[in-house]
Structure 1
Amino acid sequence: MKGLIQALWILIICSSGSLAGETEQEAVDLLRKTETLMRSSGTVAEYQVDIIRPDWQRTMSFRSHDDIDNNRFRMEILSPRKTKGTVYLKVNNILSMYLPKLRRQINISPAMMQDHWMGSDFLNQDLLETDSLVDQYSHRILAREGVGEQAIVTIESTPSPTATVTWKRLIQRIHANGIPLEMEYQCEKMANRRMIFDQVRIMDGRLIPTRWTMVPQDQPGKSTVITLKSIQFNVPLADDIFNPAKRK
């Protein structure tokens, strides 16, 4: 009898470990689906950014070129006039900024990574961590709601031991079809924040969210809203686009 009970416990433990592995892989597969939905081999897009504060609001716009295959990203400010032409360039793990008035390119130092990008609720570090979400975190499914393509899956992500990332815990809610709903960023040393994805519509043949709202959890009345104005997927991107002095 004792041997039978031990065998059953071994079977339960092994089955639980297998199930955990399956749910971890399912979480990774769903995150990959989201990444594939929102990005491509070459993506060109234009956005409007509204930085909202209790006593003021500022609007700006930018154009981005995303070369996911070569881990390169270019962002050029289109407005307002004061910062027009400023370029942020990410190549691998190096982030730099080109200032057109000075005709000078400067690397953004590690000390500046936690600074707020253009006075918004996003950080300079966010520009670097775009490609690290899947590979530098471990993922597991916490909950499921509903069935089919509209089912909502809640995924917890924690950094891998060697990861160099800002956030110590991410909680994401994603539809089974890959469309993201929201993401919570948690860290003991920094204020938590929450990003909401909505206004889902077809853009260049893909059903994607076109508005992303970042809300700091400890500062009521503050938010940054990024609205997608246009997007093209699978666009060939020439190398000279990633010359920060070259405008497109």
Structure 2
Amino acid sequence: MKFKTLSFTLIISIISIQHSIFSQEQLTAEQIIRKADEKVRGKTNQSVLEMEIVRPSWKRNISMKSWANGLDYSMTYITAPARDKGQVFMKRETEMWNWMPAIGRMIKIPASMMSQGWMGSDYTNDDILKESSIVVDYNHSIFAEERLEGFDCYKIEMLPKEEAAVIWSKVYKWITKNDFIQIKSEYYDEEDELVKSDFGYDFKVMDGRLIPSRIEIVPAGEEGKKTVLYIKEIKFDIELDKSFFSQQNMKRIR
């Protein structure tokens, strides 16, 4: 009787494992991308970040606070250095704005500036302000399954949809199979040339989620250049109404 009970338990365990593996194999590339994106974004989030811009002959650090609600609303407030403190960048649906308190001006950022480096870094305005979405603006396919940095990963190929206003002709993302952590990306231009790569490091549990706390952006073919983003603090799924993302709030947020 004891043997039968043990055998039954073993069979149930095997079935459960097989079902888990089968369910994972049935995930589409878009579902994998959604899981990875939701993991680092949540429905809403609030974070404290530091950016280090590295060049062959100099370095620069920028500290900031950031808030986001879904894909369409985000705000970033610069806390340091002193010369940039108080600047605010906001995305609200299809509009992009920059508040510059030093000159008392609210500037609308045109789509033509989306490919430019944000605050002189290797992040583009598009990256920081999230005008384009890796979820909705691309068609996704599982290009390969590879082992990278000790992780079994899906390699996802992303090709822009015809109507999408994006700056990349192709993107590859490596996402871990077990935890859906994005550990590498490659971005290509219209000539199919690699423009930059990003890498996730120093995985930590932050507000209950295992995520990379350090992300490095490395331009292709430019030795000695990179941008490092450090996630110091982050809270997910906080109370954050869309009304928070307004021009009035840009001027008074701290």
Q: Deviations over 1:109-165 (max 9, x none)?
A: 23322221100001112234465211111111111136xxx5211011101111110
Correspondences of 1:193-208 after superposition (within 5 Å): 193-208=196-211
SS, match of residue 250 in structure 2: coil
The one-character-per-residue Cα deviations of 1:30-53 (angstroms, maximum 9, x if unpaired) are 111111111122200011100000
Show the counterpart of 2:253.
247
User: Could you tell me which residue of structure 2 aligns to residue 212 of structure 1?
Assistant: 215
Q: Could you tell me how far apart the structure 1 residues matched to 2:86 and 2:134 are?
A: 29
How do 1:182-193 and structure 2 match up within 5 A? 182-188=184-190, 192-193=195-196
**3-state SS of paired residue (1:83):** coil
Residue 246 of structure 1 aligns with an amino acid whose one-letter code is R
- Secondary structure of 1:62's counterpart equals strand
Q: Percent identity at matched positions?
A: 31
Alignment equivalent of 2:224, drawn from 203, 221, 229: 221
1:150-165 equivalences under 5 Å are 150-165=151-166
Q: Say whether residues 1:235 and 2:246 are aligned partners.
A: no
Cα separation, 1, equivalents of 2:119 and 2:48: 16
Deviation of 1:214 after TM superposition, in Å, equals 0.4
Residue 56 of structure 2 is aligned to residue 50 of structure 1: no
Which consecutive aligned stretches of 4+ in structure 1 deviate over 6 angstroms post-superposition? none
AA aligned to 1:65 is W
User: Which position in structure 2 is the counterpart of 1:180?
Assistant: 182
**CA–CA separation in structure 2 for the residues paired with 1:85 and 1:24:** 47
| Amino acid of the structure 1 residue aligned with 2:146 | E
Q: Indicate if the aligned counterparts of 1:90 and 1:127 stay in contact, CA closer than 8 A.
A: no
Distance, in Å, in 1 between the alignment partners of 2:95 and 2:240 is 19
Between the aligned partners of 1:210 and 1:221, the Cα distance in structure 2 is: 22
What is aligned with 1:109?
A: 110
The alpha carbon displacement at 1:241 in A equals 5.3
d(CA) in 1 for partners of 2:42, 2:194: 32
The verdict on how the C-alpha distance between 1:31 and 1:130 changes in structure 2, with shifts beyond 3 A counting, is farther
Q: 1:240, CA displacement in angstroms?
A: 3.7
Partner SS state of residue 193, structure 1:
strand
Query: What is the alpha-carbon distance in structure 2 between the residues aligned to residue 140 and residue 63 of structure 1?
Result: 34
CA apart distance, 1:100: 1.1
Query: Which one-letter code corresponds to 1:185 in the other structure?
Result: Y
Q: CA RMSD in A?
A: 2.0
- Contact conserved, 2:74 with 2:245, CA < 8 A, in 1? no
* CA–CA separation in structure 2 for the residues paired with 1:68 and 1:28: 17
Measure how far apart 1:181 and its partner are.
0.9
1:66 equivalent in alignment to 2:68: yes
Decide whether the 8 Å contact of 2:171 with 2:186 is kept in 1.
Answer: yes
Matched positions, count: 223
| Alignment CA distance shift 1:51-1:87 (3 Å) | same
Whether the aligned pair in 1 keeps the contact of 2:51 and 2:230 (CA below 8 Å) is yes
Among 29, 32, 46, the alignment partner of 1:30 is 32
Which of 232-241 and 53-62 deviates more? 232-241
Specify the code of the residue in structure 2 equivalent to 1:230.
Answer: E
In the other structure, the counterpart of 1:41 is 43
Question: Is contact 2:132-2:165 (8 Å) kept?
Answer: no
Distance in structure 1 (CA, Å) of the matches to 2:145 and 2:92: 37
How far the C-alpha of 1:103 sits from its partner, in A, is: 2.3
